[in-house]
Structure 1
Amino acid sequence: MAAHEHWQMDASAPELYERYLVPAITSVWADDLLDRIEPEHGESVLDVACGTGVVARRLAERGHVGRLVGVDLNGAMLAIARAKSREVEWIEGSALGLPFASRSFDVVLCQLGLQFFPDRPQAVREIARVLRPSGRLGLSVYSSIERTPAAYAFVQALDKFLGAESSRTKRAEHLSCGADEVGNWVRQAGFDRAQVETVSKQISFPSALDYVRFQLTATPMAALLKGEDEAGRARLIAEIADDVAGRLDPSTLANGRLTFPQESFVVVASLC
């Protein structure tokens, strides 16, 4: 199986992802990234690994004037993006060989996508290639899964109920390296001014059950329950959610709502 094929979703998962996980998680990091980079009017902006397009769409909602492009390998995710916004050009393509001429963009953003690329330094080199001189990069990527309590509890529960390989997809959402290595990839790609900050955001779901349900229906992890009927899926989701809740500090479950810190490395860099 090719590296990217592991992340293809069926038609319903991207809709659920957009409905539940974008508001709870990715929109939080999208706003953080845009606040740091602040693209100016007239600048051309590329969103790499755009998914359903929250970064580019948020920028359009802020009134950005200039070319906006989102690129992603997953056609099903892009279909949601196209349905959500006509202000952005949505293009199917790989981060390892971006389908754009050199020096095409003033700003490149990559939110929570770098961890999925089979060759991360190559992806950063491609970003540098399509940036104009003095172009800017804004990038965020999850740090070690142990640094995000709910995710770490979730993978442990998956291993317990579904077997040791079941958590592989979730664990792959997080880097195993440190901030220094991320900074090295950026500097070696030609960015002379690069700042890497470790950032934590508070993420909230209505309950631990909802968190687990969305993970197992709105992401590629839905494949883990394909062999179960509706009753079997509901039972497993509830059992896993109970196990997750039991592993977390009670303070994260005040009034039944799940609220937890989620940690990422955030990069702001520019070319010579």
Structure 2
Amino acid sequence: MIKSWEAFERYAEEYDAWYEKYKPAYKSELLALKTFLPDNPEDLKTLEIGAGTGRFAASLGFRYGLEPARAMAEIAEKRGVQTVLGVAESLPFKKESFDLILIVAALSLFRDQAQALREVSEVLKPGGKIVTGILDRNSLYGDFYESGKKEGRFSSEAKFLSTAEVSGWLTDLGFEKIKICQTLYMQPEKIEHIELPQTGSGTGSFAVISARKPGSSPSVRPSLRG
């Protein structure tokens, strides 16, 4: 990750409190992510990259996390996520060791997004799946996030991405079955109820992209959600 991860080290508790303050937005993001997750993540070897304080990994049943900020990792550990200190561009894991990898919002903070996704491809098993949530630069509120990032403690050096960029990188790496859904149709502080995800992108500021690495799929009970 780029230098901005140092803010996560210093203000981990403040970062974590955001999810309580804007719980309907957080719950909406969880619901969108679940759209592309299997019903039995606890039966798989799962990893969240950029796991932060473990809010998503713990809620979604992910066992392992990777996080560069020790203060964040310590909170994730308290939530039951086995967290390793490290960066996405050089994953400290064996090749083809995970069935399912999650990245939520952290992709915009990686120093080299394409390299990070190459690393994901290396550590995913054949047939394994990546699910990544991004703040979509090309959504209706993309300009709002872009214009406000310099004032943001946690987003000052973020490089917000579009679904087309991320999908293009995944396609170049040979991933298949790329699917996209979206949520957060208003600014987070204005959301009062959990929003249902919709297919596609461009309207919701939080987009979720799912893709599979070619090969035989891990043993997963099928989900009606895709």
Common fold: TM-score over 0.5 = yes
Highest relative contact order (Cα 8 Å, sep 6+), 1 or 2?
2
In 2 relative to 1, CA 98–23 (structure 1 residues): closer, same or farther, beyond 3 Å? farther
Contact 1:149 1:262 in 2 (8 A): no
CA contact (8 A) 1:27 1:54 kept: no
The structure in which a higher percent of residues are helix is 1
> 2:112 corresponds to which residue?
119
Q: Look up the match of 1:35.
A: 35
Give the aligned partner of residue 98 of structure 1: 91
1:75 corresponding residue in structure 2: 70
Find out whether 1:142 has 2:84 as its counterpart: no
Give unmatched runs, 5+ long, in structure 2. 193-202, 215-226
Q: Which residue of 1 aligns with 2:207?
A: 265
Question: TM-score normalized by structure 1?
Answer: 0.63
**Cα distance in 1 between the residues matched to 2:20 and 2:51:** 12
2:6 alignment counterpart: 8
Q: Distance in 1 between matches of 2:111 and 2:170?
A: 16
Moved over 3 A (4+): 25-28, 149-154, 165-174, 196-205
Q: Does 1:194 align with 2:178?
A: yes
Post-superposition offset of 1:10: 6.7
Q: Which residue of 2 aligns with 1:182?
A: 166
- Does the residue aligned with 2:3 lie in a helix, a strand or coil? helix
Contact 1:145–1:151 (Cα < 8 Å) also in 2? no
Q: Return the alpha-carbon distance in structure 1 between the equivalents of residues 182 and 188 of structure 2.
A: 20
Displacement of 1:50 after TM fit? 0.6
Matched with 2:55 is: 54
Task: Tell me, in whole angstroms, the C-alpha distance in 2 between the residues paired with 1:178 and 1:91.
Answer: 28
> Aligned letter for 1:271?
K
Partner AA of 2:31 in structure 1:
D
Identity percentage over the alignment? 22
Structure 1 unaligned residues grouped into runs of 5+: 61-66, 159-164, 206-251
* Whole-angstrom distance in 1 between the partners of 2:129 and 2:145: 33
Give, in whole Å, the separation in 2 of the partners of 1:90 and 1:23.
Answer: 25
The CA deviation at 1:169 is 6.2
Aligned length: 203
Structure 2 CA distance for partners of 1:142 and 1:34, relative to 1, 3 Å: same
- Does the alignment pair 1:44 with 2:71? no
Q: Describe the superposition over 1:231-269 as per-residue Cα deviations: whole angstroms up to 9, x where unpaired.
A: xxxxxxxxxxxxxxxxxxxxx69xxx8xxx850332111
Q: Would the aligned equivalents of 1:121 and 1:189 in 2 still touch at CA under 8 Å?
A: no
What is the TM-score of this pair, normalised by structure 2? Answer: 0.75
Distance 2:137 2:102 in 1: 21
Helix, strand or coil at the partner of 1:82 = helix
Shift of 1:151: 4.2
Contact 1:49–1:111 (Cα < 8 Å) also in 2: yes
**SS of residue in 2 equivalent to 1:147:** coil
Q: State the distance in 1 between where 2:158 and 2:104 align.
A: 12
Q: Name the CA shift for 1:146/1:167 in 2 (closer, same or farther; >3 Å).
A: farther
Residues in 2 aligned to 1:143 and 1:171: alpha-carbon distance in whole angstroms: 16
What is the distance in 2 between the residues matched to 1:144 and 1:153? Answer: 7
SS at match of 1:9: helix
Give the Cα separation in 2 of the matches to 1:55 and 1:179: 20
Contact 2:77 2:83 in 1 (8 A): yes
3-state SS in 1 of match to 2:111: coil
